[in-house]
Structure 1
Amino acid sequence: MITLNDYLYSGDTIFRILQQYTDALRKEARKSHNEIDMAHSNFLILIKGLLEHNDFLTAQSQQIREFYKYMAKQYPYLAFTFKGRIKSLIRAEEKFNGYIVSYIYDYYTKYGKYPSVNKLKSRLSCFRDFIAYRIVICMPKCHLKQGEDLETEELKCLYEIANALPGFLEERGFDAEDAKGVKLSTSPLLNDDVKPYYRDYVCNKSHNGYQSLHITFYDNSSRSYMELQLRTKRMDDIAEIGPANHLEYEKRQEKERIQRDTIPKGECIYFDEAYERGMKLLNLDLTKIDVNMFTAMSKSLINDGCGLYHGRLILPYEHLSRFQNDLID
């Protein structure tokens, strides 16, 4: 079986690794008539194209910057940041195989049989966050009026911004994608005309406290999808350094995948291969990898200039709250 791990020790660039892995996977898929491996190779071709021909990111980030300017004018009393990133190759590969494992496992658990290839391929088409942006807002307490609650006022602002975002970007060449009822918002603060587009993890809080508003857009200029997340600073802290942080997510995911080997081995090749690829990446020793521009003393001491492990930052904007009202006697 062909895995990404087979190509991480040659000293090649990220592009050569992607090309070699894709070619090998496609060749094997044709030989074995494996439609999921073919879908996998098409997914890798998309990633390579986005990484290699990323001039569109300049235009895309410019449009996102227009919303930043809108917010700076509309909410001068807010502090907020805009960040963007392209998902790392390792994380994208983990997530793609994770989709296969989780979907087959859930389907098998519910129905006692395996999903059809068409159903599985449909599930794999849901990968929409290879390019993602995040807006994090914070209201300084000094701007609160007497009797106002910080969390309540920040939520009002967050949903106001969420109401304005789809129309703003649609005028600039982006189409908001229907969330198909996933985490449908029940908040009265979110307008009915935009509710179908949002996955609302604020009113549908997870057990670990994760909260955020997620919306997906299709960029017609680059013909690619992007995800945009909206959070308050408190929500972002919980997601990044609190109980919902990515490390804890990976630990839970690791535990879940270990439990999934209860599915009889050898009965579903798509599950077996995705599970093995995922486990190999999970147990990858980063200190032994030899990829151009990548070295690692440990997971916490990584110099990744190629987007292999950390991904690539594409948008750092920061707006500090204005205190002009404080100067008035």
Structure 2
Amino acid sequence: MITLNDYLYSGDTVLKILLHYSSDLKEDAIKTHNQIDLAHSNFLIQIIELLEHADFLTSQSNRIKEFYMYMTEKYPFLAFTFKGRIKSLIRAEEKFNGYILEYIHDYYMENQRYPSEAEIKNNLSFFRDLIAYRIVISLPQCHVSEEENRESEEIKYLYEIANVIPGFLEERGFTAELSGLSGRSVSESLSDNIRSYYRDYVETPRSSGYQSLHITFYDNFARCYTEVQLRTKDMDDLAEIGSANHFGYEKQQEENRSKRDMIPEGECKCFDEAYERLIKLQQLDLSTIDVNMFKAFNNQLINDGCGLFRGRQILPFEHLSRFQNDM
């Protein structure tokens, strides 16, 4: 079985690794009639396209920046950051295989049988956050009266901003996509006409405690999908350096092993292959790999100049709260 790990020791660039990996995966998928690996190869081509033809990001970022300018005028008292990124190769590979595990596990638990390759392949078409923009807001304590609760006020502003984003961006060439999560609870703070677009992890946090508002757009100019995430600073801290951090490998491995326990090896080939690829990545010692523009002393001390492990940043804007001395 072909895995990403096989290509991380040659000193190649991330782009060359992607080209070799996707090509070999496609060739093997055609030989073995493996629809999932073929979909996997096509998924990698999306990342290749982002790296080879990134000119559209300038236009996209400029249109996103217009919302940043709107917020500086509308909310001068808030501190906030706008950050954009292209998902890192390792994180994208983890997430792709993680989707397969989760879908097969949940399908089996509900139906007591395994999904077909066509059903798995269809589920993978919903991977639409290779490009993501994150808005993180914070209300300085000096702007909070004695009668107010800072956390509640921040969440109030978060939903207020969320209500504006869809219409604002649609006027600039983006089309909001339905979330597809009709059964999930969504806050009444979201306007009725936009609730169906949001994945509201503030109202209904994930099991890890992760909280955020997510909405996906199709950029009609760039012809690609992009995700916008909205968080308070406390939510962002939990996601980045707290218990909900993506890189909590021990927790991820424990969750994956629990799925493995429910689906014995040999019963579902698609699950077996995705599980092996995912575990290999999670057990990867980053200090041993040889990738151009990447260096790690361990899995925490990392200098990533190529987007292998950490996403490529494309839109860093910061706004510090004004008038802090006026209160």
Give the TM-score category using the shorter length: over 0.9
User: What letter is aligned with 1:176?
Assistant: A
* 2:204 aligned partner: 204
* 2:61 aligned partner: 61
1:235-314 matches, cutoff 5 A = 235-248=235-248, 250-262=249-261, 263-314=263-314
Query: Secondary structure, in 3 states, of the residue corresponding to 2:137?
Result: strand
* 1:193 aligned partner: 193
Query: Secondary structure, in 3 states, of the residue corresponding to 1:255?
Result: helix
Aligned partners of 1:324, 1:240: CA distance in 2, in Å? Answer: 27
Aligned partners of 1:145, 1:267: CA distance in 2, in Å? Answer: 60
Give yes or no for the alignment of 1:175 onto 2:175: yes
Query: Secondary structure, in 3 states, of the residue corresponding to 1:309?
Result: coil
After TM superposition, give the deviation of residue 185 of structure 1 in Å. 4.7
* 2:96 aligned partner: 96
Aligned partners of 2:38, 2:314: CA distance in 1, in Å? Answer: 30
Aligned partners of 2:240, 2:318: CA distance in 1, in Å? Answer: 18
Aligned partners of 2:269, 2:207: CA distance in 1, in Å? Answer: 33
After TM superposition, give the deviation of residue 203 of structure 1 in Å. 1.1
1:209-229 superposed Cα distances (whole Å, 9 cap, x missing partner): 321111111111221111111
After TM superposition, give the deviation of residue 325 of structure 1 in Å. 7.5
Aligned partners of 1:151, 1:288: CA distance in 2, in Å? Answer: 43
* 2:138 aligned partner: 138
* 1:73 aligned partner: 73
User: What letter is aligned with 2:38?
Assistant: M
* 2:158 aligned partner: 158
User: What letter is aligned with 2:64?
Assistant: I
Q: TM-score w.r.t. structure 1 length?
A: 0.94
1:171-218 superposed Cα distances (whole Å, 9 cap, x missing partner): 111111100125745422210011010011111123443211111111
Aligned partners of 2:324, 2:288: CA distance in 1, in Å? Answer: 54
Cα distance change on mapping 1:182 and 1:295 into 2, 3 Å: farther
**Percent identity between the two aligned chains:** 63
Give yes or no for the alignment of 1:326 onto 2:326: yes
User: What letter is aligned with 1:242?
Assistant: G
Query: Secondary structure, in 3 states, of the residue corresponding to 1:225?
Result: strand
Aligned partners of 1:55, 1:216: CA distance in 2, in Å? Answer: 21
After TM superposition, give the deviation of residue 291 of structure 1 in Å. 1.1
Give yes or no for the alignment of 1:41 onto 2:49: no
Cα distance change on mapping 1:186 and 1:105 into 2, 3 Å: closer
Aligned partners of 1:211, 1:171: CA distance in 2, in Å? Answer: 28
- Greater Cα offset, 186-195 or 21-30: 186-195
Aligned partners of 1:313, 1:26: CA distance in 2, in Å? Answer: 29
Contact 1:197 1:216 in 2 (8 A): yes
What do you get for the CA RMSD once the two structures are aligned? 1.6
* 2:118 aligned partner: 118
- Greater Cα offset, 312-321 or 267-276: 267-276
Aligned partners of 2:148, 2:3: CA distance in 1, in Å? Answer: 55
**How many residue pairs align between the two structures?**
326
Aligned partners of 1:213, 1:311: CA distance in 2, in Å? Answer: 20
Cα distance change on mapping 1:186 and 1:4 into 2, 3 Å: closer
1:135-164 superposed Cα distances (whole Å, 9 cap, x missing partner): 011111222345222222212211110000
Aligned partners of 1:264, 1:144: CA distance in 2, in Å? Answer: 54
Aligned partners of 1:181, 1:240: CA distance in 2, in Å? Answer: 25
1:262-306 superposed Cα distances (whole Å, 9 cap, x missing partner): 323223221111111111111112112111111211112212111
- Greater Cα offset, 104-113 or 300-309: 104-113
User: What letter is aligned with 2:47?
Assistant: I
* 2:214 aligned partner: 214
1:223-280 superposed Cα distances (whole Å, 9 cap, x missing partner): 11111111111221222222322233x4322112123333232232211111111111
User: What letter is aligned with 2:244?
Assistant: A
Which structure 2 segments of 5+ residues have no match?
Answer: none
Aligned partners of 2:59, 2:18: CA distance in 1, in Å? Answer: 25
User: What letter is aligned with 2:137?
Assistant: I
Q: TM-score w.r.t. structure 2 length?
A: 0.95
* 1:109 aligned partner: 109
After TM superposition, give the deviation of residue 5 of structure 1 in Å. 1.0
Contact 2:158 2:231 in 1 (8 A): yes
Cα distance change on mapping 1:183 and 1:303 into 2, 3 Å: farther
